[in-house]
Amino acid sequence: MQMLLLRIVIVLTLALGINYVAWRWLFSLNFDAWWIALALVLAETYSLIDVCLFGLTMWRSRTRPLPPPPAEGATVDVLITSYNEPIEMVMDTALAAKAIRHPHNTWVLDDGSRPEMRAAAEAAGIGYITRGAEWDDQPRHAKAGNVNNALMQTAGEYILILDADQIPRPQILDNTLGYFTDDRVALVQTPQVFTNVPLTDPLGSQAPLFYGPIQQGKDGWNAAFFCGSNAVLRRDALMQLGITGYVEELDGSIWATLRTAARVLRRARTSDAAGQPAVQEALSAVSDAIAHARSRLKRGDHYAEITYDLQRQVDAAASSIVAGDLAGLQSDLAEIRELAAVASGDGGSSMDHFLDMETTVAALATRELSPLNALETVQAVLRAIDIDRADEAQPVMPLATISVTEDMATSMRLHGLGWKSVYHHETLADGLAPEDVGTMLTQRLRWAQGTMQVLLRENPLLQRRLAWPQRLMYFATMWSYLSGFAAIVYFAAPIVFLVFGILPVSTNAFDFFIRFIPFMVANQLLFLVAARGIPTWRGQQYSLALFPVWIEACRTAFNNVVLRIPLGFAVTPKTRPVSTGPQWHLIKTQIVVSAMLVVAILIGCVRLFVSGAEPIGTAVNIFWAVYDLVVLGILVTAARYTGHNPQESSTE
């Protein structure tokens, strides 16, 4: 009954939303103020697409029954990732992990290589893993590299990954390993819930809508994804992912190399020197060898054999050209000797003899060089094929390394290989959330940057191995981080009208409200029904209030992926910062926007009550400006927040 009601509300919301946005595009644009009119309707279209993606997510929302018992003898490695967190915090998590009921091995993955961390772990009988010398001067890939390094040093069938501040409950493996009795399940993700968050949740740390209805909705489409911690993964699936990625990267490298070699040869064959029969024969032989290598690559022959045979054929062709060049060089030397003898026989001075020799060398230098340099280029390109991946610490990287957040890309690739994922809706670990606005902003920026990197590098809409619902489920999360651009328009529209009297909508009030209000009511009803009583207001506030963070994430991710500008990796601090008072400088953009909204409201009130401005439009825009102020107002509380009082918590 609940699902039927949800689907009815989804259909109603989408129908009303499409009706409203279509009307806005076709009948209500104020072309006299096209710059704000077009921006506003684009923002509304963005929001409609967002609602459509949310509706699709919730269409098959799945509440799973309890899983069967774990398979007997299932072996597990618990990996606790750490970099610079306090040793006491890491050990609290490690000792709790050691106490997990199901038999397992516990490992601290210390990316900081701290001797005191090693000593504490070994004293407690807990395994300790850090990077070896092979990682020196190589890309480290942050947390993904840390886990990939540990995967090569452990052997459990299943991997439980925990952040250093996520203290597991004893039953975490008992309640999740049973899902792996389905041989195609690669991932079981559980919620991330924080114990140091007050009931008011001033930093918006808890995500009950995501770790609940949204992940359950994605689970219905086999698209619940890995969130970096509190997740169990199948080692075989990860290793298949790493090997497949290695093979695909090598395959792409060889194809690119063969294309480059073919282009070099085509240019060489158009040179004058290529007209020599011996040279033409050598170049033709290499060209045929490249074509044969391509056919062998399609057939699936071994990469090493293909490249080795091709290199031998290129070497043989180069040797034949060198032999011809040596014969020509002997002839050139004889010619030089004759010219020198003639110059000396004419009785010229030593200076004249020098000038004659210089002229002779210059004349020889103008001759067409042989295509040997082209074959040398081909040889160099072939040698660049690196089967051992010398540019990486290890050839196989199971967790994706294309993003500062490894989780989403990894699960998307697993789904692309046909594996299944599970979202298990039970709190099985207790974490620590940021305790000041600066730490929170660092965390949200990194999440958004990582997500946008995945969008730019492996756009899910273009992943042919994924089913279309899976593509859309991943895209929905990425799409949500574009909301910063729409937020600017939503803040600007009432300011523009109240200050300048420019209305982006060209229509009468009745036509507007008869379409807009039903859509907005249905939209809020959809969130209410989908959330099933879970509070969502704090999340809605932060989705708008953090618009500078989302825009910065898009900008820096674009610079990194397209312009190759390093992004850097910021580890979220896990300790309470020393209080220095409200951090107003971190929200200065939102403060400026709030001030503009206040000024706009005051001007609007003067125009409404003193100047006799159009009442309905003015009142509506004053309402939206006040709403925007309420949304942004959460940041005032956030900036003044100095940490959690343990006597008040939003969790059990």
Tokens of 47: 């929001």
Supply the range of the domain harboring residue 157: 76-243+396-434
pLDDT digit string, tens, across residues 137-168: 999 999 999 999 999 999 999 999 999 999 99
| Pairing status of strand 185-189 against strand 231-234 | antiparallel
pLDDT digit string, tens, across residues 205-223: 999 999 999 999 999 999 9
pLDDT digit string, tens, across residues 591-619: 999 999 999 999 999 998 888 778 888 99
Could you tell me the CATH number of the domain that includes residue 82?
3.90.550.10
What residues have CB less than 8 Å from 619, skipping those under 6 apart? Answer: 608
Q: Is residue 64 part of a domain?
A: no
Q: Is residue 23 part of a domain?
A: no
Question: Of how many residues is the chain composed?
Answer: 652
Average pLDDT over residues 40-69: 96
Radius of gyration of the chain (CA): 33
Q: Are residues 296 and 353 in the same domain?
A: yes
Q: Is residue 649 part of a domain?
A: no
Higher pLDDT, 476 or 617: 476
Q: Is residue 322 part of a domain?
A: yes
Instruction: Using alpha carbons, select from 625, 603, 605, 624 the residue that is nearest to residue 615.
Output: 605
pLDDT at res. 310: 85
Q: Are residues 220 and 307 in the same domain?
A: no
Inter-residue contact 538 to 431 (CB < 8 Å): no
Q: Are residues 235 and 254 in the same domain?
A: no
Q: Are residues 228 and 294 in the same domain?
A: no
Helices (H), 31-109: 34-59, 87-98
pLDDT digit string, tens, across residues 17-54: 999 999 999 999 999 999 999 999 999 999 999 999 99
The CA-CA-CA angle for residues 547, 551, 556, to 5°, reads 145
Q: Are residues 229 and 265 in the same domain?
A: no
Q: Is residue 94 part of a domain?
A: yes
Question: What pTM value is reported for the model?
Answer: 0.86
pLDDT band at residue 356, thresholds of 50, 70 and 90? very low
Q: Are residues 374 and 429 in the same domain?
A: no
Cα 382 to Cα 289: distance, rounded to the nearest angstrom: 13
CA 469 to chain centre: 19
Q: Are residues 102 and 199 in the same domain?
A: yes
Cα 405 to Cα 451: distance, rounded to the nearest angstrom: 7
pLDDT band at residue 116, thresholds of 50, 70 and 90? very high
pLDDT at res. 354: 40
Q: Is residue 200 part of a domain?
A: yes
Average pLDDT over residues 378-400: 79
DSSP state of 584: G
pLDDT digit string, tens, across residues 409-445: 999 999 999 999 999 999 999 999 999 999 999 999 9
Average pLDDT over residues 168-182: 98
pLDDT at res. 442: 93
Terminal C-alpha separation, the chain: 29
Cα 60 to Cα 52: distance, rounded to the nearest angstrom: 14
pLDDT at res. 284: 86
Q: Is residue 604 part of a domain?
A: no
Cα 406 to Cα 242: distance, rounded to the nearest angstrom: 13
Inter-residue contact 79 to 109 (CB < 8 Å): yes
Q: Are residues 82 and 170 in the same domain?
A: yes
What residues have CB less than 8 Å from 231, skipping those under 6 apart? Answer: 160, 161, 187, 188, 189, 190, 407
Question: How many domains in the chain?
Answer: 2
Q: Are residues 229 and 278 in the same domain?
A: no
Q: Are residues 255 and 310 in the same domain?
A: yes
Q: Are residues 266 and 379 in the same domain?
A: yes
Query: Contacts for 44-47 with beta carbons within 8 Å, 24 or more apart?
Result: 44/20, 45/21, 46/482, 46/483, 46/485, 46/486, 47/486
Q: Is residue 422 part of a domain?
A: yes
Q: Find the largest Cα–Cα distance for the chain.
A: 114
Angle between helix axes 509-531 and 34-59 (nearest 10 degrees) is 30
Angle between helix axes 437-457 and 615-640 (nearest 10 degrees) is 110
From residue 417, give the alpha-carbon distance in Å to each of 250, 401, 412: 18, 17, 9
Q: Are residues 278 and 404 in the same domain?
A: no
pLDDT digit string, tens, across residues 295-335: 998 898 888 788 888 888 888 877 776 666 565 556 666 66
Inter-residue contact 184 to 408 (CB < 8 Å): no
Residue 125: Cβ-neighbour burial (10 angstroms; 0-12, 13-18, 19+): exposed
Q: What does the buried/exposed string (b/e) look like for 569-578 if buried means 16 or more CB atoms within 10 Å of the residue's CB?
A: eebbbbeeee
pLDDT at res. 609: 87
The alpha carbon torsion through 350, 356, 357, 358 (nearest 10 deg) reads: 110
